[in-house]
Structure 1
Amino acid sequence: NLQLLMDLTQLLVQMMIERKQNIAAQEASITSDKYLNLVVESSQDGFWLWEKGDIFTMSDRCAEIVSFSSEDFRPLPQAWLDRIHPQDFASVIRQLEDHMAGRLPNFSAEYRFLTRSGQWKWLLANAQIISRDKEHRPSQIAGTISDITERKQIEMDLLERESLYRSLVETSPCAIALTDLSGIVKFINPQGADLFGWDAARLIGQSGQILLHATEWGRLGLDFRSVLISGHPKQAEYTCAHRNGKTFIAEIHIAPIYDANRHLSGCICTAQDITTRKLMETELLQHRNHLEKLVEENIQALRISEERFAKAFTASPIAVSIATLEEGRYVEVNDAFCHLMGYAREEILGKLSRIIWHKPQNRDVFKQMIEEHFLVKDHEFQFVTRSGEVRIGLLSGQHIQIGTETFILSSISDITEKRRIDREISRLDRLNLIGEMAASIGHEIRNPMTTVRGLLQMLGSEALYQRDQDLFDLMIEELDRANSILSEFLSLAKDKHVDLLPSNLATIISSVTPLIKANAMPKDISVVFQMDPVPDLLLDSKEIRQLVFNLTQNGLEAMQPGGTLILRTYEDNGEVVLLVQDEGPGIEESILDKLGMPFVTSKEKGTGLGLSVCYRIAARHNATIEVKTGSQGTTFFVRFSLTNKM
């Protein structure tokens, strides 16, 4: 009995120990699960698990990344594969098949995935088969996905930036070379190879000293070491050696470059041939020294010369001014300058020259040109008068020294009218060519078109083709439209006969007034006629009616309902002027200079022939057409010289 009691006691103790161990194991398992869930939920990666029987579960983060729940992906795996970007699909399938077949230990791929919101996201997907069934088919697969869209965007930005920097280097007008810490060339752009006469590939691996004359090697070595030690860039002028043996002067800038860890890795060198500039500087310096010597020897003669210069300066018919180099502040202007700009002398003195530049920033460019070359001739620029009119001029400038201050002596020639005449001559030359071509082929095309039109009318009237009457009408309408374009082309002919008879411009406009009003009425546009008395001119009434109709039609087509179209005749500075003003959006600047050329138009279905005909009619009447346009509308001025007066 005692033995039996001891055995029972030992059994009870063993059972109590096993129970405690089971309780401890369960508590450890619960703790482990809590830690695992905490890791899953706090991770930026999404976790998923697929089990046999098409059981698919995802972590909250996984669902957040793809904008789907696990129930949305049915059937699997097709529902998931359908959302992979077509360009990435083949590589993903290949990786997946290799892992499924056991050729890869796990699956890993980067691809674009279409989320529920229609957004493409870059995903990094990793997966592994955890277990297989008896047939060796996967029975459980676990994996993670990470949203790497931001990383991919950064990578693409870096590639784009690298491409941009490479383009800047390879297309730069300056020679650019990279060296290591020993001065060995690691890279040189095509401009650098051309500057020194070398093939770029043959320069790589050689010392940069071979690009300089031997007398400069020592100085270059000292400057190179100075840059590496101080970390500061250095710029200097060196005598360089071309491969053909010739020498030239170059301005070379040496700066340190660093690797990603901010360790010094070499230098970047830029070079520019300044031989021409140095020669010019030398010539100008010699000229200046010569002038200074003359001043010292002939101070009395200079005083007389200054007096003569002051008189010539003031009375010169060319607009001349003196302004400070740095600020551009006017210290002296002549009468011709005041007349050209519209200012009184006391109004302009002390003002900055930027007030006459249409684009003030271009004054800095001109100043830089003066500083580099000391003399600039016939620089074309746009200037603004006091009234706000923008004109074109040729600006010449000279770097001068008066006492201790530096100034720019400049002169301006107004070429606005010359540029307008040049454009008009060019426009007329092109119109003449087109007109001659139109006259030579227009009749040859029109005759067979007339025959075709007649046959279409005959066939369309027969009972057999009554069902196709709409098609016959459309073909006849298109032939009539082509014939109308041919008629406008023929109007461009240079040698077209005109019947110039004494006529009054206001009377001719009155004859087409009903037609203009009829065209304006459906568009709810008001037409205002302001007919000031004007003298009779020698005009072809038919052509002038065509000109007025074309200009008003263009104005009506450019306007919105409720606008006002103005037609006016008046006399101005020995000319009779026809004004047509609309309230449309204005003419684009890109086509303004080409206005009047066939097929230059801003209208969807326009041919541009209407304005071409207007310019040709004006030319046959020795008249000119001017255009002023802006966001508030466009105004055409047709100016008839009173020399055409009867």
Structure 2
Amino acid sequence: MGQVPFAKAGLPAEEEDIQRVLRAEQETPKTNILLVDDRPENLLALEAILRSSDYRLVSVNSGEEALRWVLKEEFSLILLDVQMPGINGFETAKLIKARQKSKHIPILFITAISQATEHVLHGYTVGAIDYIFKPFHPEALKRKIEGFVKLNQRTIQLEQANQKLERLTAELKKTEALARIIGETSVDTIITMSQNGFIVTANPAVESMFGFSPAEVIGRHVRHFLDEADTFTRCRMGIGDFFGLNQHDKGIGKIFEARFKRKDGSTFPGDIQVGQANLADMQLFVCSIRDITERKRLEEERKEQYNRLERLVEERTVDLRRSQERFRKMFASSPSMIAIRSLHDHRYLTVNESWLKTTGYDSQDVIDNTVDLLQMYFKAEEGEQIARMPELDESARNAKICYYTKSGDLREGLLSCEMFDNDGERCIMSVVTDITEQIHLEKEMARLDRLHLIGEMAAGIAHEIRNPMTTVRGFLQMSKSMPDAPMHQYVDLMVSELDRANEIITEFLTLAKNRTTNRYSQNLNVIIDALYPLIQAEALLSDKHVLLELHHCPNILLDEKEIRQLVLNLALNGLEAMEQGGNLTIRTYPKDDEVILEISDEGTGITDEILDKIGTPFFTTKSQGTGLGMAVCYSVAARHHASIHIKTSEQGTTFFVHFQSLP
């Protein structure tokens, strides 16, 4: 299996680096020498003998102090006295040699006591390189010290050079292994060629790409793998006479696209890149070939997709133009008033014909004007005191507004707004649907409905009041024809009939919308708690039960008398709808921005026919009812801006009253 060659091994340059490091280390200005002796006069003598500008002498009086200096300094030589109090010279030397960083330091023992062979051998055993016996010759000592210092420096330099060489060797092996792994695992075919274009090595990828094993391609010319039909590429590329690199190798490092031929004769597109390397005196070329079939396929797909997108853009452009034309026609012909203004400076950019026709302005008066010409403001609802002006960037959907025309007429409309970007400018489109005529028509219809309702109510009142009046009149006529008849037996009947007529009139007056109310902030639960004994007593008379489920609710605006009447009417209706043993449940709870009152019975429910007529004045299913109870409830709810909803089934009926919470 072939391997990819490297341009240069780099060893001569690394040896040069090592020599440069050695020369730099030889130029070290000072050499540290440690002198250890417990006698000061001996240290002074050693310092006098060894004093030199090349040495830095450190003198200590004990083995302990010598060890501390060895820990924090680097020394080229140690002169160590054998006989010392505390840690003697042998023990000190043993500790110094036991430390990895200081074991290379030469140690010379100095002694004046024992020259016995056993004593000297023990010194060499613990790491000494020589023995100096006192008295010694100063010049001989000086020369010996110089020799040991140079020997130690050379040893250190060699160790450092060996360490660096080991690191370089390891890095070189790592680089070679990495190159081999890259070559063997690369999906690209990597081959090396001679100057003449013959293949020297190839990586395993050549087999999956070309169908040849690495051994089969070695010795073949690179032209064998180029498609013969691709003459343009063959002329454009080629090393020397085969890749066109004869003019100062101008194709080196560049990537060319070519078609290559496999063993089975099929071809494929690929990228080829050539690099140059020198191995010893031989010039080689490294060629990397990448199969780009998939890339070409993706390029074709992208090209086709780009063409589809271009066609789609053209179609969308046509659709956009049509849409713009439709919008222009809708904008111009819309019966609603449409205006487009800039949010930046509030300029009117354009308005439609309906806007001009309804307001009475000319387009010259409107376009580029920054003032709100309509002077719009939100229409105040019932109970509101202030109607504010709408903000220009405020979103709205069918908000009721009032606006002025050019002539000063006040009109009403429904406002809807939509913000959008127009060529980088933030704009707002306001659509106003004029409902002035519709409001006028609704008021007229309401007036006619009231007249119709008054007619129906008048007929009901006449029917209901005629009955007790007829009874009273009949008994009065009887009293005229029977002067001796006792009247007291008829008086009670006439009084009850008159009371009935008075009750009908009183409840009828309760329906009036313009009735004054005395509403103030109070809690609904307090009113229900006060009514509970009365409702419970009424329930006990017919063997029924009343259950309260009052949850914590916020205060709301209530007229206590009217709410008492509403709760009593709904509760008594529920009790009357149930058989003996039934339960009436009164429940309150907050929900969203509302306070809910629920009154549920366990009756048989309300039919659809009756449900449609609930709240109609004088409609009742009771033999003695006036038909005004539910109408009064709806009237009270309307004055409190509340709403009544009904849920009914065969298991019972629930009335829901939704009150608005305080803001």
TM-score, length basis structure 1: 0.30
Q: Which has the higher contact order (CA 8 A, sep 6+)?
A: 2
**Larger Rg: 1 or 2?**
2
- What is the TM-score when the length of structure 2 is the normalising length? 0.30
